[in-house]
Structure 1
Amino acid sequence: MEIMKPEIISRQTIKPSSPTPDSKKNYKFSVLDQLTPDRLYGGVILFYQNKEGDNSVDVAHISSVLKKSLSETLTHYYPLAGRIKDGVTVECNDEGAYFSEARVDCHLEGFLKHPEARDDVDLIVPGEIQSNSSDMGNYSDHLFQLWRNCDWAALGNLVKRRFVFDAVKLGALKAMATQSGVENPTRVEVVAALIYRCAVDASKVSSGSLKPSVLRQIMNLRKKIVPPLPEKSFGNILWTYGIHTTPRHEFHASVGQLKAGLAHFCDTYGKNFTGQELIRLMFKEEAKSAHSNDNHHVNMYRCTSWCRSSLYQTDFGWGKPIWLSPTGVGSKNIICLTDTREGDGIEAFVTLEEQEMAVFERDEELLPFSSLN
């Protein structure tokens, strides 16, 4: 099944429902926001079923509801309606947020029944997030340059595939790790470890050599620091931990390293995550990276988990989504984990270079535990 290119119906800018006070006109990025690499955008597409029949959809009403909701939300999250004026500040000038409407020439039911169509799901996004690199400043060229030897942002023929791990297969993966001495492995840890191991194998087969590899697991800091931050805290309140390794590790070893990395972070930094502590962490990680990489390029894999989030509870007035898909990351070696709709399984959206994906999706270690699409 071929997904047709979306037809743009309208584009406009939605302003906050009430003006931002003068006292809040300048929003300075936190240290974490400033350290986040620019031009990395992650989005999500939510799919909703029309339960009343095709002919009863009131598109104008739906659009009006969304615009009103967005306008009122921007009053509380006013930096999103502003513009970046340098590398560290948002000018909260109420210029507004981008809003577009588009039509796709296909039926949702047919789309969901054809897994091969989901590979082109990004085509449903009607516009691209534009970023002027000069607006972002040169912050990443000062401090630390943690990622300078890594080629995760290199462009190429990228392919995204969806792999489903059901509850039974997750249980089997966790049992494998437990039997090898890992205590209480999580669903995310076992899936991330297996995908990482298989991706490293695919890279080796594709290139003919084994490159040093790094898996960085992205974590939400809101509940990892003491005292915990409110769940609705705004910004890039995240950090990474993970596996720095050159040789091919066993599955259970990778699971154990992920678990140990999280525990180390929480014990070492989570209880005293001040600006000074963050800078010390950055220098420590930079020194480790520079030493271990020996100035050679490293295959950087990044894994982010949206599991246990409330995305499947997103209701704009016509029910909860029947499926969701992350989109718009735009770089290679990305692993994004989400819950299945039922909540007991995991969907892994993996982006690799085309040649590596051709090997990865046939991996005999991966296939017994997951279903492609």
Structure 2
Amino acid sequence: MEKIEVSIISRDAIKPSAASSSLHPYKLSITDQFTPTMYFPVIFFYPITDPVFNLPQTLTDLKNTVSQALTLYYPLSGRIKNNLYIDDFEAGIPYVEARVNCHMIDFLRLPKIEWLNEFVPIAPYRKETISELLPLLGIQVNIFDSGIAIGVSFSHKINDGETANCFLKSWVAIFRGYRNKIIHPNLSQAALLLPSRDDLPEKYVAMMERLWFGEKKVVTRRFVFDAKAISALQDEGKSEYVPKPSRVQALTGFLWKHQLAASRALSSGTSTRFSFASQAVNLRSKMNMKTTLDNAIGNIFLWAPALLDLNDTAPESSDLKLCDLVNLLNESIKEFNSDYLETLMGKEGYGGMCDLLDFMEEGSSFEPAPEFYSFSSWTRFFDQVDFGWGRPFWVGVSGRVETNNFTTFVETQCDDGIEAWVTLDGKQMAMLEQDPQFLAFASPNPRISIASSVGID
């Protein structure tokens, strides 16, 4: 396929089905405050072969049930004010229906990452500037000749992966009439435990924007690791300190190692002295029972930075041991235990939060400038987004983006593999794609084989 055409059929603003004008403003947390204004995409592809599938009724039901889901998740229908709270819940979300000029099977045989932008209503991972006018959620229903792709744009100012997962599960439950599976969100806990600040220094917001966005031209590539490759990397990454590394730990260490190798190859081995690998840590599972965050929405995560001093390691990146990198990553996560997190909670935790942000600020100002790589695992999300047409055969989580050195992990929809969606500087990516030791484990953008599963030859 040389190109696709996506034509807009309709564009609406969907509001909560119940009146929300009398609701109190929703308070942001401090982690919401310093998260840049941008959108992350999730696109679910559903090939449909049922000859009696009722498309008009399905489109009507999707739209109506989104409105019902927004009644529960009403902050997503509002607008951010002064980077402190959300109000104006009647503003609604953009909801688009579009027609795609090809069969879904043809698109999935060799998907092009940049085309995914066409399937969401708002461009992903781009620095936005007018935050108080922007919606916090957008949905686009894309109609192929042989299926439906539902693209969702989540504003990162209030949504993290867990929040997105809870909303989608609830939308599906309402659509299918499974009322007992609706997740009722906790709309107050995040702001109580991580309260926003009127006097939050602008330097923290600016630092996060610098870490997310840069001046270089970046590209995104999809690499797939099958179960055999992951198991081999887990074996290579284990040590007496980490005897059983997780799948994500092994992949994070492996990607960090080879991203460093690509960078050093471009600079003839004279690149930066320090490298940071920051992992997104979901705080919900780290807190003890007296500060539970079950079903709480918002950015309830922090970045756990692992620091590598390249002067203290092997002279060549290829000589770095995966087990040593996995140990560094594991140690950085272990520091985010419940006792430490308690020191960040409430108004009295503001000093501890500033210490963490200052550490990141100090690291970003090293000379020569260090390299930052960020990793986020969505391997436990989006496994139940089944509207009754079966599980999606593929989930897209990126597109043509502007972020720096960022990787998202998602489960493959079969065979227990993991996809790594990697964004890097274009030249560095070109080196990575030519690294034989990397390609021995990673498959670059393989075709998505769905024919046998849906009965298509």
Q: Is TM > 0.5 for Structure 1 vs Structure 2?
A: yes
Partner Cα distance (2:82, 2:92) in 1: 18
The two structures have a TM-score, normalised by structure 2, of: 0.73
Out of 217, 223, 242, the position equivalent to 2:285 is 223
Pairing 1:133–2:196 present: no
Check whether the contact 1:112–1:118 (CA below 8 A) recurs between aligned residues.
no
Of residues 39, 42, 45 in structure 1, which corresponds to 2:40? 42
Q: Is 1:340 aligned to 2:339, yes or no?
A: no
CA distance in 2, matches of 1:120, 1:155: 22
Aligned partner of 2:444 in structure 1 is: 372
Q: Is the 8 A contact 1:25 1:93 kept in 2?
A: no
Quick one: distance in 1 between partners of 2:394 and 2:420? Answer: 13
Equivalent position of 2:308 in the other structure: 245
| More deviation, 121-130/186-195 | 121-130
Is the contact between residue 8 and residue 126 of structure 1 (CA under 8 Å) also seen in structure 2?
no
User: What is the root-mean-square deviation in Å for CA atoms of aligned residues?
Assistant: 2.8
Give the deviation of 1:7 after TM superposition. Answer: 1.2
**SS of 2:337 mapped into structure 1:** helix
Distance 1:260-1:343 versus aligned 2 partners, 3 A rule: farther
Structure 2 equivalent of residue 30 of structure 1 = 29
State which drifts further: 93-102 or 171-180: 171-180
Q: Where has structure 1 moved over 6 Å in runs of 4 or more?
A: 136-140
1:41-70 residue CA offsets vs partner (Å, 9 max, x unmatched): 2110000010215xx554322221111111
State the match for 2:108 in structure 1.
Answer: 112
| Gapped regions of structure 1 (runs ≥ 5) | none
Aligned to 1:157: 217
Residues 363 and 229 from structure 1, CA distance in 2 versus in 1: closer, same or farther, beyond 3 angstroms? farther
Separation in 2 of the partners of 1:138 and 1:358? 44
Q: 2 CA distance for matches of 1:149 and 1:307?
A: 25
Are 1:95 and 2:95 an aligned pair? Answer: no
Query: Does residue 1:8 correspond to 2:8, yes or no?
Result: yes
**In 1: Cα distance, 2:82 partner to 2:209 partner:** 26
Query: What is the CA–CA distance in structure 2 between the aligned matches of 1:369 and 1:278, rounded to whole Å?
Result: 43
**Which secondary structure state, in structure 2, belongs to the residue aligned with residue 365 of structure 1?**
helix
- In 2, the alpha carbon distance for the partners of 1:82 and 1:149 equals 23
Residue 122 of structure 1 aligns with which residue?
117
Alpha-carbon distance change, 294 to 127 in structure 1, aligned in 2, over 3 angstroms: closer
Structure 1 window deviating more from structure 2 (175-184 vs 311-320): it is 175-184
> Are the equivalent residues in 2 in contact too, given 1:166–1:344 (CA < 8 A)?
yes
Deviations 1:330-362 (A, max 9, x none): 312110000111262111000112111111112
- Decide whether aligned partners of structure 1 residues 194 and 288 sit closer, same or farther in structure 2, where only a CA change above 3 A counts: same
Q: Distance in 1 between matches of 2:331 and 2:212?
A: 24
Distance in 2 of aligned mates of 1:150 and 1:17:
39
Check if 1:70 corresponds to 2:141.
Answer: no
Q: CA deviation at 1:187?
A: 0.4
Distance 1:89 1:336 in 2: 28
Count of aligned pairs: 367
Q: What is the SS of the residue equivalent to 1:301?
A: strand
With over 3 angstroms needed to count, the CA separation of the structure-2 counterparts of 1:177 and 1:206, relative to structure 1, is: same
Partner of 2:242: 182
User: Compared with structure 1, are the counterparts of its residues 61 and 127 closer, same or farther at alpha carbon in structure 2 (3 Å cutoff)?
Assistant: farther
Select which of 319, 322, 336 maps to 2:390: 319
Uncovered stretches (5+) of structure 2, i.e. residues with no partner: 133-156, 158-196, 311-316, 446-457
Structure 1 residue 145: Cα displacement: 5.7
Superposed displacement of residue 207, structure 1 = 4.2
Distance in 1 (CA, whole Å) between partners of 2:300 and 2:208 is 22
**Pairing 1:241-320 to 2, within 5 Å after superposition:** 241-247=304-310, 248=317, 249-275=320-346, 276-277=348-349, 279-287=351-359, 289-290=361-362, 293-294=365-366, 296-309=368-381, 311-320=382-391
Give secondary structure in 2 for the equivalent of 1:269.
helix
In the alignment, does 2:405 pair up with 1:354? no
CA separation of 1:343/1:217 partners in 2, compared to 1, >3 Å: closer, same or farther? farther
TM-score (norm 1): 0.88
| C-alpha contact (below 8 Å) 2:21/2:90 kept by paired residues | no
| 1:178 to partner: Cα distance | 1.7
Change (3 A) 1:257 1:268: farther
Identity %: 31
